[in-house]
Amino acid sequence: MDDKTSEKGSEVCPKCGSPLGEVFETKSGKKLQRCSKGSWNPETHTIDGCIYVKWLEVEPVTLDEKCPKCGAPLLSVVTRFGKKMKKCSTATWDSATKIAGGCDYVEWIKGITEQLDEDCPKCAAKLVLFTTAAGKKLKKCSTATWDPGTKTAGGCDYVEWLRS
């Protein structure tokens, strides 16, 4: 054994004992660390070598926005499933009693809609560009509607997913 310590050598893979590789950030903002003996093979869509992956907690980012309930700063949080939300920085969670404390303001970030100067191939209305909270983009017709009461979609159903 050598006693050389490198920055990323402090943590070892629990499966094979090799040092973990560099921290990698996914498109949806999640962070992971792979075993240095494993690598993603884009041709076979499998991992070559050691398959250990460690998901890291994403640090909440303090926003320049105030909580509408109590006026404290809001935090931007990415959940383990890649969903983004804003929550109040005074919110607390007691894992022993499983009781949430502080302010309970939460706002889920759904997505952004931008107007496009492109015509719908189906009905010639304008298209809009929709970016989901996970960063996926799609073009859809601006006449498309969604009735949350009856859970039915109306208007033109043209949708085009964009590859990023």
> In the bound complex, what is the minimum distance in angstroms from residue 41's beta carbon to Zn ion?
16
Output 110 or 122, the one with its CB closest to Zn ion: 122
Minimum distance of Zn ion from residue 108's CB (angstroms): 16
List residues near Zn ion by CB under 5 A: 13, 15-16, 18, 35, 37, 50, 52, 67, 69-70, 72, 88, 103, 105, 120, 122-123, 125, 141, 156, 158
Task: Please give the structure tokens belonging to residue 164.
Answer: 């990023």
- Residues 62 and 156: their CA atoms lie apart, in Å, by 39
Query: How many C-beta atoms surround the C-beta of residue 33 within 10 A?
Result: 18
124: left (phi over 0), alpha (psi -120 to 50) or beta: left
Q: Which is nearer to Zn ion, 32 or 125 (CB)?
A: 125
- Closer to Zn ion by Cβ: residue 15 or 27: 15
Amino acid at position 154, single letter: G
